[in-house]
Amino acid sequence: GSVRQFTDERVDDATVYAMLDDARFAPSGGNRQGWRVVVVKSAAKRRAIGDLMKPVWDEYVAIGSTGVTPFTAAPPANYALTTVTPGHTPNDLLDNIVDVPVVLVVAADLGCIAMMDKDLERPAITGGGSIYPFCWNVLLSARSRGLGGVMTTFLSRAEPLAASVLGLPPTYALASTIFLGHPVHQPTKLKRAAVETFATIDSFDGSPFAG
């Protein structure tokens, strides 16, 4: 489960290195390993990317309050954001980003990622298959060490501005920001939909797969 609140216990560089060393064995298309990680230590840079993510978070909350999935590529035909919550909605991570033990920004090298669906008339998603397993491995490695974390994608919405803060080359795209640390609470009881609700036999309208 995702962890968004951390104690003030620091995570040393050797541990961060070890987690990245674990994560690098993630699968990727053609084994091209198109990930790049910025370990953000500078307080000024943390504030800068936090300030870029806060308006995105506020917009996310405002859209979600209407009952619509925020930033979906397939919004309802009659969707319109008519009410926006004024001001900033508190967010422990973004409001206290300077104090988060570990902040990682993961970028994808667009020149070595095959996007099989790039020519379809919808947003491409297949390229993520070469990056997000790496991100997930970071979180798994953290959990194996008694740490916790969460992956967010808010910074991608502000990529042009974030690029100047982080020195992002034009051939790279922001994939995620990962926050890690010693959890205030390590979640153990998670609620997820049953397999039968999302797995069917032979077609999307087939019988539920019950094992």
For the domain that residue 147 is a member of, what is the CATH number? 3.40.109.10
Q: What confidence tier does 149 reach under pLDDT thresholds 50, 70, 90?
A: very high
- For the chain, give the percent of residues with pLDDT over 70: 94
Any domain includes 204: no
Residues 6+ apart with CB under 8 A from 61: 85, 89
Q: Average per-residue pLDDT in the chain?
A: 93
pLDDT of residue 79: 59
Any domain includes 192: no
Instruction: Give the mean pLDDT of 22-40.
Output: 97
Q: Which pTM was predicted? A: 0.92
Q: Which two tokens stand for residue 79?
A: 């969707």
Any domain includes 5: no
Tens of pLDDT, residue by residue over 172-186, are 999 999 999 999 988
Any domain includes 7: no
Any domain includes 143: yes
Any domain includes 200: no
Tokens 């104690």 correspond to 7
Number of domains forming the structure of the chain: 1
Q: How far apart are CA 110 and CA 201, in angstroms?
A: 35
Residues 134, 148, 155: CA angle, nearest 5 degrees: 60
pLDDT score of 78 more than 80: no
pLDDT score of 77 more than 80: no
Q: How far apart are CA 64 and CA 72, in angstroms?
A: 11
Any domain includes 82: no
Domain span including residue 137: 13-65+88-184
Any domain includes 199: no
Q: What confidence tier does 38 reach under pLDDT thresholds 50, 70, 90?
A: very high
